[in-house]
């Protein structure tokens, strides 16, 4: 009896050991990457040709005032000490004060980030729901007119400048046809009706059962989200097609057909099942790119997200806001990569 219990404990330890090792490796990798990100942002803040003291006190301030603020910011200390102070503040969620509005940068980021999250999430959903089936069908019917259309769609998505598509979309669907709302997240009439809970208007208005606000918010977000979704679709469909072509030429697909399995079972039950792990990384990277790379879209559509926030701060020489936004965006990339790695371990037993 005792021998069987000992064997059971050994098996449990043996099964947990790879997971614990993987978790420790992932945490170590994340820590090193985050430390490198903070070091890079710190160096950028020091080498930028912008004097943070002058940005605060102005060019007409006296030398004594300049020196006082210089010491208050800790710029008189060695660089290593400055970096340790910076690291300590960031780890506690303190990115300093914004020079534009004298508010904590962390509060500003918490206010604007939900707008980008809402826009990028809807764009990614559009890209996944349309891009994955398009890529699968294009691979299954390789060389057909559907495959040619899918390839042209992907090529146009990679080639067309996003600012041009955004301007044309506003001109046609808003200015001429009037099918969608204009720039911004809401019309003036609907602002401040719904209490802020998540910061995402679609969710907040649905929770409050304010369907008029929901429809108005949807009319504003659908065009920029579709634009981002199109770029996501181009990437996801191309990668899905490539993965599926590789699987469709494998021997196990021929064996499945010889056994009399239906084409639907062969495609979705075997080939697509084996590319799920690869698609996880593709979708995660696409999502991260939309969260980080929607700057032009937010500017064109006057979308008050983190991209617009960082751009405005950069043009105003507000380096605390720029560096804070950069750290948050980098942290998003790190977290999404870690999340995709965890999903790898769930869907692919060979990675455990």
User: In three state form, how does the secondary structure of the chain look?
Assistant: CHHHHHHHHHHHHHHHHHHHHHHHHHHHHHHHHHHHHHHHHHHHHHHCCCCHHHHHHCCCCCHHHHHHHHHHCCCCCCHHHHHHHHHHHHHCCCCCECCCCCCEHHHHHHHHHHHHHHHHHHHHHHHHHHHHHHHHHHHHCCCCHHHHHHHHHHHHHHHCCHHHHHHHHHHHHHHHCCCCCCCCCCCHHHCCCCCCCCCCHHHHHHHCCCHHHHHHHHHHHHHHHHHHHHHHHHHHHHHHHHHHHHHHCCHHHHHHHHCCCCHHHHHHHHHHHHHHHHHHHHHHHHHHHHHHHCHHHHHHCCCCCHHHHHHHHHHCCCHHHHHHHHHHHHHHHHHHHHHHHHHHHHHCHHHC
pLDDT at position 284 is 84
Question: Is residue 58 domain-shared with residue 124, that is, in the same domain?
Answer: no
Question: Is residue 162 domain-shared with residue 61, that is, in the same domain?
Answer: no
Question: Is residue 249 domain-shared with residue 113, that is, in the same domain?
Answer: yes
pLDDT at position 125 is 92
Q: Tell me whether residue 134 is in a domain.
A: yes
Higher-pLDDT residue of 27, 274: 274
pLDDT at position 247 is 81
Question: Is residue 54 domain-shared with residue 154, that is, in the same domain?
Answer: no
For 227-270, the pLDDT digits (tens) are 888 888 888 888 888 888 888 777 777 777 777 777 777 788 77
Of 40, 57, 91, the last residue of a domain is 91
Q: Tell me whether residue 56 is in a domain.
A: yes
Domain count, the chain: 2
Question: Is residue 173 domain-shared with residue 319, that is, in the same domain?
Answer: yes
Residue 181 has pLDDT above 70, yes or no: yes
Residues 133 and 241: beta-carbon distance below 8 Å? no
> pLDDT exceeding 90 applies to what percent of the chain?
2
Question: Is residue 152 domain-shared with residue 273, that is, in the same domain?
Answer: yes
Q: Tell me whether residue 147 is in a domain.
A: yes
Domain housing 304:
105-351
Question: Is residue 175 domain-shared with residue 246, that is, in the same domain?
Answer: yes
Q: Tell me whether residue 100 is in a domain.
A: no
Of 32, 66, 91, the last residue of a domain is 91
Q: Tell me whether residue 199 is in a domain.
A: yes
Question: Is residue 131 domain-shared with residue 26, that is, in the same domain?
Answer: no
Higher-pLDDT residue of 81, 138: 138
Of 91, 114, 145, the last residue of a domain is 91
Question: Is residue 194 domain-shared with residue 318, that is, in the same domain?
Answer: yes
State the CATH number of the domain containing residue 345: 1.10.3720.10
**17-26, 112-121, 187-196, 330-339, range with the lowest pLDDT:** 17-26
Q: Tell me whether residue 320 is in a domain.
A: yes
Q: Tell me whether residue 99 is in a domain.
A: no
Residue 12 has pLDDT above 80, yes or no: no
Question: Is residue 184 domain-shared with residue 301, that is, in the same domain?
Answer: yes
Question: Is residue 48 domain-shared with residue 148, that is, in the same domain?
Answer: no
Q: Tell me whether residue 52 is in a domain.
A: yes
- Where residue 161 falls among pLDDT bands split at 50, 70, 90? confident
Question: Is residue 86 domain-shared with residue 181, that is, in the same domain?
Answer: no
pTM over 0.85, yes/no: no
């Amino acid at each position: 009896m005792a021998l069987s219990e000992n064997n059971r404990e050994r098996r449990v330890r043996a099964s947990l050991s790879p997971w614990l090792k993987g978790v420790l490796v992932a945490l170590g990798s994340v820590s090193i990457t985050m430390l490198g990100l903070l070091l890079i942002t710190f160096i950028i803040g020091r080498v930028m040709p912008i004097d943070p003291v002058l940005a605060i006190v102005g060019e007409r301030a006296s030398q004594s005032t300049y020196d006082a603020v210089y010491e208050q910011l800790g710029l008189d200390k060695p660089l290593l000490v400055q970096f340790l102070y910076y690291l300590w503040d960031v780890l506690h969620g303190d990115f300093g004060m914004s020079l534009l509005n004298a508010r904590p940068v962390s509060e500003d980021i918490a206010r604007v980030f939900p707008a980008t999250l809402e826009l990028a999430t809807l764009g990614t959903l559009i890209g996944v729901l349309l891009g994955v089936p398009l890529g699968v069908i294009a691979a299954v019917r390789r060389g057909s007119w559907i495959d040619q259309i899918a390839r042209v769609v992907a090529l146009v998505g990679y080639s067309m400048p996003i600012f041009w598509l955004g301007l044309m979309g506003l001109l046609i669907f808003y200015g001429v046809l009037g099918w969608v709302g204009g720039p911004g997240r809401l019309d003036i009439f609907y602002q401040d009706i719904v209490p802020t809970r998540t910061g995402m208007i679609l969710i907040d208005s649905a929770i409050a059962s304010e369907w008029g606000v929901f429809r108005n918010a949807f009319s504003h977000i659908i065009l920029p989200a579709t634009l981002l979704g199109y770029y996501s679709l181009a990437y996801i469909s191309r990668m899905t097609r490539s993965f599926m072509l590789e699987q469709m030429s494998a021997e196990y697909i021929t064996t499945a057909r010889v056994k009399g399995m239906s084409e639907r079972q062969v495609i979705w039950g075997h080939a697509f099942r084996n590319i799920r792990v690869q698609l996880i990384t593709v979708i995660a990277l696409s999502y991260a790119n939309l969260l980080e790379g929607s700057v032009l879209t937010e500017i064109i559509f006057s979308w008050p997200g983190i991209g617009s926030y960082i751009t405005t701060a950069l043009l105003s020489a507000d380096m605390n806001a720029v560096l804070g936004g950069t750290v948050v965006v980098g942290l998003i990339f790190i977290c999404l990569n870690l999340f995709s790695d965890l999903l790898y371990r769930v869907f692919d037993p060979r990675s455990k």
